[in-house]
Structure 1
Amino acid sequence: MDPNCDEFQQYEKPIEGYMASVTDSSMEDTDFSETIKFITQILMEENVDQRPFYDPLSLQITEKSFHDALSPNGTTSTSCNSNSNSSIDDSHESKPFSPDTPVSDLVNHGFQFNSCASSSVSDGPINFDSSITNMLAENIFSNADSVSQFNRGFEEANKFLPPQPQLLTGLESSNFNMMKSRKNHGREEEEGSSNKQSAISVVDEDELSEMFDKALLNVEREFLQNEQPPSSNEGKVRPKKRDSKNKTIDLRNLLLMCSQAMYANDNRNANDLLKQIRQHSSPFGEASQRVAHYFANGLEARLVCDRACAQTFYSSPSTKRITAAEFLKAYQVHFTSPPFKKFAYLFGNEMIMKVAAKAETLHIIDFGILYGFQWPMLIKFLSNREGGPPKLRITGIEFPLPGFRPKERIEETGRRLANYCKRFNVLFEYNALASRKWETIRVEDLKIKSNEVVAVNCVGRFKNLLDESIEINSPRNVVLHLIRKINPDIFTLSTINGSYNSPFFATRFREALFNFSAIYDMLDAVIPKGSEWRRMLEREIMGREVMNVVACEGLERVERPETYKQWQVRNTRAGFKQLPLDSQLMEKFRTKLRQWYHRDFVFDEDSNWMLQGWKGRILYASTCLVPA
């Protein structure tokens, strides 16, 4: 579609309601306008509003859960007592959830976990939407015992619900007291003799089923009421609240205390602290309240059902309620508001342009290409090159999609880029490479030719590779050695600068809290409070990352960022040396930052790394390397 036509221009306008109080620099800076146009064109494609957005990392983990369930050597629930009995309530229709949903509500809506969840699924998460999982549950657990286990799970989940409002208003008090009395009587008998059954089993199953159905309906009703955003007439919410005794509530300190209690296995104290955090946090409040809300979700997942529940919440298809169009719109807001992605893309493109100044063929190997947002900008640059553009070859590496077409999304990216090259008269060739484990890629898979300039690129995706704490032969080092074997003319690397990859939970929690607090504070300053796209970013992208960092361990924890100094050591050991930063390009970035962005954004240099951050905290780092 012609970018100058009226229909295109109307889609290129800022998203309604978003730019009410923010200057859209992308509309005034041609360096970044091609990426905005590229996203807009994808949004105009047929059926994009109906396509689900697949998180490649979640799909990778979900695939592992199927493998573990089917593997004869997998650690499934056979390691638990088959009579300990956990069940999945198939009577409830599958409903989508998001990281805004407290884990206790997931439990009350039919997600049930037994006491040995952490050991029985230690090698992978349970996919609760899987027919295989449902079949296994039906074969392993008896119907009679499942009623008893359902009651225990319901009672346990209620410990983590706030005391107000009353969630069981639909139950007649007399029936509820009768049920409670019989439960307590059952516990006394169970303590007195291990051969006696719980008294709850003498209650008629139909009666219990009806009572629990009423309870769950009221839980859902209360949950939906509480999730409504506050009205504009309620005024601004303060980041620090005062309780009835006029004491200031420090949410950050409460979160740190809760994580320390959990680290020390003091679950009672952790539960009490979590209740306080829940009372004063909200996904609609100030930055500190929103951070506390999503971190509380992670803590609750870790406390209630351990990593099996948490990883299911992170990766289960029942939580995928956003479409590809919604993700693209949210990404467009994220791209235009802070400078992080823009500067990382422009930095890599400018350095690649330098080495390809006289190249006849430029071959870019992009680790984590996804939609290919970086390359429309480069294609335009190449079309204006003195002497004409070179032939452009791109190898797009990404995680596979589920089903019979694992390369579908990567190939779609290639078709879109081919159309862009056609518009700018750039010869184009594309190679789609879908690999679940990037460390297994071979040099010959990349189809490198002898007469081309090779550039390897990665923006923020190496953080998801496993490290030495999981595998002795670290996939991070294996991929870096693969790139060294490629012997590229340039290797452009941008990474998330985070120090929350510690195997020790308390340390990891503290660093993640500081990092995400800076990000949420930044979003508060640059995106209007009422923006639905900001909330989608915080819920569907950052909320999931927080859940994964806080609640998951081992192979299930895929969010593993390191600092740029740690990557510098890895790069050196792999046989790379850094190129000095281009002083003119750095000055160009500083000028753009002063002209178009908030004064609290940070731009700095250190050891040939370009650093970006917010209020003194470095969040992104970029560098260029060549074989030593």
Structure 2
Amino acid sequence: MNSQEILLCLRSLDGGCLEKLLLHCASALESNDVTLAQQVMWVLNNVASSVGDPNQRLTSWFLRALISRASRVCPTAMNIDGSSTIQRRLMSVTELAGYVDLIPWHRFGFCASNSAILKAIQGFPRVHILDFSITHCMQWPTLIDALSKRPEGPPTLRITVPSSRPPVPPLLNVSTEEVGLRLGNFAKSRDVPFEFHVFDKSPSSTAPDEILCKGTPSFHFDSLLGHLNPSMLNLRDDEALVINCQHWLHYLYDEKKGSPQGASLRDIFINRIKALNPRIIVVVDEDSDLSASSLTSRITTCFNYLWIPFDALETFLPKDSSQRIEYESDIGHKIENIISYEGFQRIERLESCIKLSQRWKNAGCTSIPFSEETVKEVRTLLDEHAGGWGMKREGDMLVLTWKGHNSVFATTWVPNGLED
């Protein structure tokens, strides 16, 4: 990029030009050209703005991430403070509900999953949900309410969750056990027999909010794997087992880690889940591939993907909205991890729905299409949000879109041979 192209970027603030500047800076960092990297950062600092248009706001978070990366690569030469400036506060349950409702990033998956689960457990008097999610069980009140209205009466519902979770937003100001108590009270109000269990109670010396600020993401994944067996989970023969994975799988390491089969930890997790012989497995995740080792490749993919929530928020929240700024800072946390870190510190390892689906097929699972009733329910949900949101089918998947761009996908699976 020459000086004339840089001047054009300064004038137009076009998303494509801003992306070129970011790539120019990343390329300079990868080639250890400190002087050029500083020059481009100066330009970016003059065009990026945390209260500007969506492209400027997005660019400001990429700039922070590049500064953070540069400070670790060559701290003395860059002479900048690259420590994380993203301070996350703990939300109340009420605030978390508003956070989840802001855009359908999570509600899409909740709606599609709950509808598929209701169909899969129809007629079963006992249901056990093994829940892997980053949203603190926000999915389940809607399902409990639906179960209370079953013509044959509600089943006995048991929900089991791991004690540790990926150290990513949103963060809650109450414990997992307190969440379970609140769910139990809600289930009681709906006359749904309910149990809540927490497994893998590994001690942690670092609080989630402290982990976020330090930028040292880790959670007790090896310990969690050791608990994925029928006896440790107290599986019961008279229960319909449901496995729910909501924005969870991409936080599991995909590098091979010395297993005899040469499998990655992500594949080991999938195989162990399949071996539990669940009635249904629901998988919801973000539809982007951010697994590239090249920094410039990750920036290109990430910029064009995470533009979606920034653009969506622009449609209904003012530029200085505290709710909008907080939501964007959580996306900024994701950007910082994708751009600033390498190796096991980079836990944001998104892969496309096609790649992730192939993992489930390799593990011996079959995908199940969503019913027309589920499709109708999801479309009704999206009608509550901005007009740019849509949904499409891709094979057996449902995909949430913003202005035609894929954002989140939902799939359902069963072990081979267990299809209805």
Give the TM-score, by structure 2 length. 0.82
Determine the structure 2 residue equivalent to 1:490. 280
The alpha carbon displacement at 1:328 in A equals: 5.4
Secondary structure of 2:49's aligned partner: coil
Determine the structure 2 residue equivalent to 1:467. 254
For residues 30 and 69 of structure 2, what CA distance do their matches in structure 1 show? Answer: 11
The alpha carbon displacement at 1:622 in A equals: 0.2
Is there any run of 5+ residues in structure 1 with no aligned partner, and where? 1-241, 403-407
Alignment of 1:569-584 (within 5 A): 569-584=358-373
Relative contact order, CA 8 A, sep 6+: which one is greater?
A: 2
Whether the 8 Å CA contact 1:313–1:319 is kept in 2: the answer is no
Change (3 A) 1:321 1:378: closer
- Give, as a single letter, the amino acid of the residue that structure 2 aligns with 1:279: N
Determine the structure 2 residue equivalent to 1:90. none
For residues 245 and 552 of structure 1, what CA distance do their matches in structure 2 show? Answer: 27
Task: Give the length in aligned residue pairs.
Answer: 375
Whether the 8 Å CA contact 2:134–2:247 is kept in 1: the answer is no
Whether the 8 Å CA contact 1:463–1:562 is kept in 2: the answer is yes
The alpha carbon displacement at 1:293 in A equals: 0.6
Determine the structure 2 residue equivalent to 1:596. 384
Change (3 A) 1:333 1:424: closer
Q: In the alignment, does 2:410 pair up with 1:622?
A: yes
Secondary structure of 2:26's aligned partner: helix
* Selected match of 2:400 from 592, 597, 612: 612
- Give, as a single letter, the amino acid of the residue that structure 1 aligns with 2:228: R
Is there any run of 5+ residues in structure 2 with no aligned partner, and where? 1-5, 168-173, 203-219
Change (3 A) 1:278 1:617: same
The alpha carbon displacement at 1:285 in A equals: 1.0
Determine the structure 2 residue equivalent to 1:442. 228
For residues 328 and 272 of structure 1, what CA distance do their matches in structure 2 show? Answer: 44
Secondary structure of 1:445's aligned partner: coil
The alpha carbon displacement at 1:442 in A equals: 2.9
Whether the 8 Å CA contact 2:256–2:263 is kept in 1: the answer is no
Determine the structure 2 residue equivalent to 1:530. 320
* Superposition RMSD in Å: 2.8
Change (3 A) 1:307 1:397: farther
For residues 585 and 505 of structure 1, what CA distance do their matches in structure 2 show? Answer: 39
Whether the 8 Å CA contact 1:527–1:534 is kept in 2: the answer is yes
For residues 579 and 374 of structure 1, what CA distance do their matches in structure 2 show? Answer: 21
CA offsets 1:225-279 (integer angstroms, 9 cap, x no match): xxxxxxxxxxxxxxxxx96998445322211211122222222211110110011
The alpha carbon displacement at 1:590 in A equals: 2.8
The alpha carbon displacement at 1:368 in A equals: 2.8
Q: In the alignment, does 2:318 pair up with 1:552?
A: no
Determine the structure 1 residue equivalent to 2:307. 517
For residues 42 and 271 of structure 2, what CA distance do their matches in structure 1 show? Answer: 48
CA offsets 1:285-320 (integer angstroms, 9 cap, x no match): 11111111110011111112239999x945xxx964
For residues 105 and 234 of structure 2, what CA distance do their matches in structure 1 show? Answer: 32
Whether the 8 Å CA contact 1:307–1:553 is kept in 2: the answer is no
Secondary structure of 1:529's aligned partner: coil
Percent identity over the alignment is 26
Q: In the alignment, does 2:59 pair up with 1:292?
A: yes
For residues 263 and 74 of structure 2, what CA distance do their matches in structure 1 show? Answer: 25
Whether the 8 Å CA contact 2:391–2:401 is kept in 1: the answer is yes
Whether the 8 Å CA contact 1:337–1:527 is kept in 2: the answer is no
Change (3 A) 1:322 1:308: farther
Q: In the alignment, does 2:261 pair up with 1:478?
A: no
The alpha carbon displacement at 1:369 in A equals: 5.9
For residues 336 and 246 of structure 1, what CA distance do their matches in structure 2 show? Answer: 36
Whether the 8 Å CA contact 1:603–1:613 is kept in 2: the answer is yes
Alignment of 1:209-228 (within 5 A): none
Q: In the alignment, does 2:164 pair up with 1:399?
A: yes
* Selected match of 1:412 from 147, 159, 178: 178
- Give, as a single letter, the amino acid of the residue that structure 2 aligns with 1:625: W
Determine the structure 2 residue equivalent to 1:151. none
Structure with more helix by fraction: 1
Alignment of 1:133-532 (within 5 A): 247-249=11-13, 250-306=17-73, 313=83, 320-325=87-92, 329=95, 331-368=96-133, 370-399=135-164, 409-434=175-200, 436-437=220-221, 438-443=224-229, 444-468=231-255, 472-532=262-322
For residues 530 and 295 of structure 1, what CA distance do their matches in structure 2 show? Answer: 19
Whether the 8 Å CA contact 1:470–1:554 is kept in 2: the answer is no
For residues 49 and 121 of structure 2, what CA distance do their matches in structure 1 show? Answer: 50
Change (3 A) 1:521 1:307: farther
For residues 99 and 187 of structure 2, what CA distance do their matches in structure 1 show? Answer: 25
The alpha carbon displacement at 1:469 in A equals: 6.2
Whether the 8 Å CA contact 1:306–1:551 is kept in 2: the answer is no
Determine the structure 2 residue equivalent to 1:128. none
- Give, as a single letter, the amino acid of the residue that structure 2 aligns with 1:504: S
For residues 308 and 498 of structure 1, what CA distance do their matches in structure 2 show? Answer: 31
For residues 101 and 186 of structure 2, what CA distance do their matches in structure 1 show? Answer: 21
Alignment of 1:94-133 (within 5 A): none
Secondary structure of 2:66's aligned partner: helix
For residues 361 and 287 of structure 2, what CA distance do their matches in structure 1 show? Answer: 18
CA offsets 1:325-367 (integer angstroms, 9 cap, x no match): 3x852x4444223223222111111111112221111000001
For residues 415 and 524 of structure 1, what CA distance do their matches in structure 2 show? Answer: 37
Give the TM-score, by structure 1 length. 0.56
Change (3 A) 1:439 1:306: farther
The alpha carbon displacement at 1:589 in A equals: 2.6
For residues 374 and 588 of structure 1, what CA distance do their matches in structure 2 show? Answer: 15
The alpha carbon displacement at 1:607 in A equals: 1.5
For residues 613 and 552 of structure 1, what CA distance do their matches in structure 2 show? Answer: 28
